[in-house]
Amino acid sequence: MGEMGDSQDQMGRDPRLQPQQMAILVSQEETLREMAERPKNFPPGPPPLPILGNLLNLSLDNPMRDFERLRRCYGNVYSLFLGPKPAVVINGVQAMKEAMMTKAADFTG
């Protein structure tokens, strides 16, 4: 076997990241982070993960228990990301009335 030096792999390539590769990785990270950002004027909620959103915050066995836990933490109106899509959860008759009557414009898509 011939000596290739410490900075090259067996194919003769440099295994360190090149500036172009680093720039691509940074831009991909920024894109993923922006996908999981809460829209402006959105209700509070748990921080989402890129791509998955808050799917890991909900159990398949009893998602209602998880919705109740989130209601206690964030109030009667909170937001979740179902994958990359934002959603608003409204709990209770009073919160529903307020959302539909007084803040209808805020909830229209």
User: Domain of 82?
Assistant: 19-107
HEC profile of 39-86: CCCCCCCCCCECCCECHHHCCCCCHHHHHHHHHHHHCCEEEEEECCEE
Gyration radius of the chain's alpha carbons: 22
Q: Could you tell me the sign of the dihedral formed by the alpha carbons of 88, 92, 95, 99, in that order?
A: positive
* Interval 2-56: pLDDT, tens: 455 555 556 666 667 677 766 666 666 665 555 556 777 889 999 988 888 899 9
In-domain check, residue 7: no
Q: How many CB atoms lie within 10 A of CB 102?
A: 9
In-domain check, residue 9: no
Q: Give how many domains the chain has, as a whole number.
A: 1
In-domain check, residue 46: yes
In-domain check, residue 53: yes
In-domain check, residue 10: no
Q: Would the pTM count as exceeding 0.85?
A: no
pLDDT at 75 over 90: yes
pLDDT at 64 over 80: yes
In-domain check, residue 74: yes
Helices (H), the chain: 19-35, 63-74, 93-97, 104-107
In-domain check, residue 52: yes
In-domain check, residue 87: yes
Two tokens, residue 96: 């529903």
pLDDT at 94 over 70: yes
What's the burial of 48, exposed, middle or buried (CB within 10 Å: 0-12/13-18/19+)? buried
